[in-house]
Amino acid sequence: MANKKSTDQDRVLDEMMEMAQALQGHGLISRHDMARMKLICQKPPAYTSENVTFIRVEKARVSQSVLASILNVSVSAVQKWESPSSGKHPSGAAAKLLQLIEKKGLEAIVA
């Protein structure tokens, strides 16, 4: 069932991008808004433990507990993501937020 859900989400994102491109072709979406749409529709990468640690330490410059709070996950989840032996990786909204932090910095999601 998870595979079908992923396929459905990918289809919806593809359709959103197609519609945004059509609207931009008619001058109804600015270049800036189109860039934002691409970022929103882009599937986040699969983050390794090293990636998560790098984003937390070098990009966000926060502790595990602060990152957990920002991502609305448990500290244990962040600890597992950063442990190579756990086999756990961020997914869904947490992965998308990590992607935004990686690309735009913590300021992109914290007001």
| Number of structural domains in the chain | 2
Task: Please check whether residues 20 and 62 belong to one and the same domain.
Answer: no
**Beta-carbon count within 10 A of 54 CB:** 15
Same domain? 34 vs 54: no
Confidence of residue 1 (pLDDT cuts 50, 70, 90): very low
Note whether 65 and 102 are same-domain residues: yes
CA R_g for the chain: 16
Residue range of the domain that includes 86: 49-108
Residues 55 and 28 in one domain: no
- Do 34 and 79 belong to one domain? no
| Judgement on whether residues 71 and 94 belong to the same structural domain of the protein | yes
Distance in angstroms (rounded) separating the CA atoms of residues 81 and 54? 12
- Residue 96 backbone phi and psi in degrees, to 5: -65, -40
Mean pLDDT of 68-94: 96
Non-local (6+) Cβ contacts of 57 within 8 A are none
21 and 58 together in one domain? no
Query: Same domain, yes or no, for 53 and 30?
Result: no
Please give the pLDDT value at position 78.
98
Q: How do residues 38-47 score in pLDDT, each as one tens digit?
A: 888 888 889 9
Confidence bin at 5 (pLDDT 50/70/90) = low
Burial 77-95 (b: 16+ CB within 10 A, else e): bbebbbeeeeebebeeebb
Structure tokens, 59: 């990009």
29/55 same-domain check: no
